[in-house]
Each structure stands twice: as structure tokens, then as C-alpha cells.
Chain A
Amino acid sequence: MKNRKVKLMQGNEACVEGALAAGMKFYAGYPITPSTEIAEICSQKLPLVGGKFIQMEDEIAGMAATIGGSLAGLKSMTATSGPGFSLKQENIGYAALAEVPCVIVDVQRAGPSTGLPTAPSQGDIMQAKWGTHGDHPVIALSPTSVKETFDLTVKCFNLSEKYRTPVMLMLDEIVGHMREKIEIPEADEIEIYDRKKPTQDEVDTYKAYRVNEGEIVPAMASFGEGFHFHVTGLMHDEFGFPSNDADTADKLLRRIMNKISDNVDDIVMFEEEFMEDAEMVVLAYGGTYRSARSAVKKARAMGLKVGLFKAITIWPFREKRVIEIAKDQKKILVPELNLGQYVLEVERIVAGKTEVHSLGKVNGEAITPDEILAKIREVL
């Protein structure tokens, strides 16, 4: 039997532990409630593993430094909440186009603007997808428990390294600040993916943005290891130099979009329960999933045929499965701590094949199981 450590741990703390387990060596950010513990614990723990922590002058610079750390070869992370997430958006787009792996944590609080700093929200779900301008690849995961926060933070690093893209961990204040029992896996139980680097004999022939045969993304050299390459937020050729050429731009943007859309099966995670005979499905994510699970169990105890779908990967979305659910004529209810964001994506995919209902809440309090149960009874 493994001798795993059992602890009471906060979600934000589990995020840092997961990042360290994944090999994070650099954190740059600007602290903001309810994400502050992440910066605080990184500042304590990174120096102990030979890593670096830097508090920048604002969130924009925090994101820029995170990109710089990754280009220098270190697995890098930043964390923030809504107001800071807004500020980071331009540089998130830069990381997407320049294909710089990094992890951005957003511990969502009630917005818009500075809103309710200490209250939970899931109001940044659409911003995770559309916050930065232009078409761009997006991967975003959202944990429902402290243990899942650990696991998904590791997964965020792995996906970012594998697909050379920024990956977002969409925490919320409920999970970020809650303390719960966690069994920390041992190092040899954790799967780690490191970016592919060019070999030293390629020093003279290296093209920073050329995808080698059989690979998903270009091999990534670290700055300072002798490889020459150029990084830009402009459309660029295989050397990384800016280009205005129509074919080059089209090819590049389609390539970075397709590296995600061609690998949805590898990226998307979801879980289902109580589905077989369900006439209705509650589709939930993040902290609200816990209320949904409690509500579905109560509904089942009352004899109501309700299923439960947990979206773990928020972006990209598991379209294939949701279309199947819709074709089975199961009604879908999406409870979320906003006025109906993710439900829009569900409606888009379902395209009228079944009823889709929304349950939104924005007063700064969690959605209760009884509120979801009441909506279930209304819909069924």
C-alpha cells in the first residue's frame, strides 16, 4: 500500500502543490483576492526547489514575465482573479500565437469590475474562451474539489507543454478557499509531460516554428541554450520572423487552431453519473457541480430520473457527447454562478434538439442544492 500523505488542504494550496509536482519552476504575478494564497505559497515554496518567484508591478507584467520564464525553459505559472484576468488577456493571446506553454489560474470572484472580492463566481467562463482578440486556441479546465485542483493543475502543465499553448485553470472562490481532505499522490504516481526540445546537433538548422514529421507542435528551444529564434505577436514564418504573407498567416493560424481541435479526445475530460434512465441531465462544472450532485442525489431519492454531467474540461467542449444526450431527448439544465454563459455553448451544440434550461445566480452566494432541486422539479 502506498504511504500517501492525508491532509486537510485549501484548494489554492492544492493548486500550488500540483504545480510543484508538475515541475513549475517560475511564478510571476500580482496578488489578488481570492487567489492570493497561490502567490503567497509559491513565494515560500519555489525557492526551496530552486525555482523563482517574482511579484510584478501589475497583472499585465505578471503575465509577460510568465511568458518570459517559459521561453527561458522553465515551467511557468501565474494566478489571478477576474480584474487581473481581464488585464492578462492581451498577453494570453501573445502566448497563444507565439506558442509559449504556461498556466494561468483564475480563482473567479463576483464581477464585473472589482465586484465582490471575497464572493464566488463563474463569470469568467466565456472570457476564458473569448477574452483575447482574434481566433486563438483555448484549453481551460475547472476543478470541483481540492483533490481535483491538484490533479488538474498537473494536467494544465502537461497540456500546455504538449500543445505549446497557454492553459487556464478556472477555479472559483468556493473550491479555491475551501479546505477538504486530500490524499497527495506520490511522485511516481504522477504523470508528467515535458516539452520537446531540439537536439544540440540541430543548432545550425533549427527553425523555431517548423513542425517536424509526426509531431503536433514545433520543438521548443530555451533561450540561452545557443539556438537562434525570434518570438513575436505578429504572424510569423518558420523562423519566427514577422510575415505579411497571406498563405503564411492562414497556415499558421489554422495550424495552432487544429492542434487543439484535432486532439479533443486527448484534451477533453468529463464524468457522468445516474445517466441510464435519465429524462433530464444537470450539466455542471466547478464549485457549482457539488451543489448539482447533492441536488441530483436528492432528486433520485424522490424517484425523479435525473442524470449528472460534470464538465471537467470547459474548453474545448465535449460536443459529440452532448449531441448524443440531446438526441436521447434528455432535457438539460445548466446551473452556474453567472447569468447564463456556459448554457449558451450548450444551446449552440444542442441546436434545438432538446430543451435547455439555465439557472443563474449572481448575488455572491453559492447556488444551493435546494435551488437546483426546485428547478429540476419545475423542468421535469
Chain B
Amino acid sequence: MVNQKEIRLSGSGGQGLILGGIILAEAAILDGNNAIQSQSYGPEARGGASKAEVIISNEAIDYPKVDKADLLLALTEVAYKKYIKTLKEDGILIVDSSVNIEDKNPSYKVMQIPILDTAFEKMGKGMVANIVALGVIREVTNVVSAESLEKAVLNRVPRGTEELNKKALMEGYLLASNRD
């Protein structure tokens, strides 16, 4: 049976979402699945709305773009407003606690999680917000294994930041599981 999950990571440029998408796709490949990562961006390198898309499937993936997402991560209000319409009706919205949710009675599942606060305040390193978010996504969806995700993160992050990033993943797992 085809089991395909389409994920959209959104926020502002510079939050490391494209790297986050690459890591998620690499973790899926380590699990033995197929994965495609793509992005759309404007000519500017920082600021603005940025998104990365990941499709993970146990079959060959034809169309490489995400149309309606099974899961939307929105780290900023701008990104939430821009992409919420592209979430499936029964999809999952993982949104940073700083974002004001307009829809009072949505058909999709909403999870408000302090991802940026955890990275900036608790860990003191805003740049690991993308890794915290990956931990949350993994714990919520099980779309990649924890073992492969950790391996994929460590393959990509700069030397000397391994422990910091492992801790960021762990914070993500805790944020997601504390909610149940």
C-alpha cells in the first residue's frame, strides 16, 4: 500500500527550514524510504516567508511538489497566514506558540508548541529552532525513526555542535509528548 506523507515547513528565511527539510528527507532515506525535498524562495536570502517541502513515501514519488500538506509547520504568523490554506482538512498544524491562530474551530488538528521559546530561552541558541521542530514533528507523526533522525542531524550540523543538536532533538520530543 502506498504510504505517502507530505510535509511543509514554513517560517522566515534564515530559520534553517530548508536544512530542516533536507535532514528530514535524509532521515527518511536512512529508514529505507523514498524522499523528495524541494523549496520555493524569492530572490532575497533572509527574511520574507520561506518554506521547504518534504515528501516521504514507501513508493516512487512522481510529482515532487506538495499540494495539500498532511502536516504544516509554521514558525511565524506570516507563514501561518500564507500557508494554512494549503493544509489538508484532516491535517496537522504545528505552530509556534507566538503565532495567533485565527481559526476558532478548525477541521485540522492544531498543536501550539513553544518551539522558538525553547530554542532561544531554554537552550539559549535560537539557531537550533529547526532541530527542535524536527523533534516535535517526529514525535507527532512517526514519519521517520528517532535513530535515523539523530543520525541525519549529526551528518549535517557543524562539528562541535553535536551535543547541542542532540539536546535540541530531545527538547522537541519532550515538547510533543508533554502535550498528550
Is B truly associated with A? yes
> How close is B116's CB to chain A, nearest CB, in angstroms?
26
Determine whether the beta carbon of A177 is less than 8 Å from that of B62.
no
Q: Judge if A74 is at the interface, Cβ distance under 8 Å.
A: no
- Select from chain B the residue with minimum beta-carbon distance to A146: B36
Determine whether the beta carbon of B62 is less than 8 Å from that of A179.
no
Determine whether the beta carbon of B43 is less than 8 Å from that of A291.
no
Known: A177-B38, A178-B36, A180-B36. A118 touches B64 (CB 8 A): no
Determine whether the beta carbon of B63 is less than 8 Å from that of A179.
no
A291 to B39, CA, bound (A): 17
Interface mask (B10-53 → A, CB under 8 Å = 1, otherwise 0): 00000000000010011001000011111111110000000000
> How close is B153's CB to chain A, nearest CB, in angstroms?
14
8 Å CB contacts to A: which residues of B61-108? 61-65, 67
Q: Which residues of A contact B38 (CB under 8 A)?
A: 174, 177-179
A179 to B152, CA, bound (A): 15
Q: Which residues of B contact A370 (CB under 8 A)?
A: 67
Q: Which residues of B contact A6 (CB under 8 A)?
A: 29
A6 to B25, CA, bound (A): 13
Known: A118-B40, A118-B42, A368-B67. A8 touches B62 (CB 8 A): no
Determine whether the beta carbon of A179 is less than 8 Å from that of B36.
yes
Q: Which residues of A contact B34 (CB under 8 A)?
A: 180-181
Q: Is the interface of B mostly helix, strand, loop or mixed?
A: mixed
Known: A8-B29, A179-B25. A294 touches B62 (CB 8 A): yes
Count residues on chain B whose CB falls below 8 Å from chain A CBs: 20
Determine whether the beta carbon of A290 is less than 8 Å from that of B26.
no
Determine whether the beta carbon of B63 is less than 8 Å from that of A290.
yes
8 Å CB contacts to B: which residues of A296-328? 297
> How close is A231's CB to chain B, nearest CB, in angstroms?
39
Interface mask (B139-180 → A, CB under 8 Å = 1, otherwise 0): 000000000000000000000000000000000000000000
CB < 8 Å neighbour of B62 from A33, A117, A178, A290: A290
Q: Which residues of B contact A287 (CB under 8 A)?
A: 64
Determine whether the beta carbon of A118 is less than 8 Å from that of B36.
no
Determine whether the beta carbon of A118 is less than 8 Å from that of B65.
no
B residues whose Cβ falls under 8 Å from a Cβ of A? 22, 25-26, 29, 34-43, 61-65, 67
> Would you list the 6 A-B pairs with minimal beta carbon distance, nearest first?
A294-B62, A179-B37, A294-B63, A293-B62, A178-B38, A180-B36
7 contacts between A and B (CB under 8 A): A8-B25, A8-B26, A8-B29, A8-B35, A118-B40, A290-B64, A294-B63
List 6 other contacts, CB 8 Å, given A8-B29, A290-B63, A366-B65.
A8-B22, A174-B64, A181-B34, A294-B62, A368-B65, A370-B67
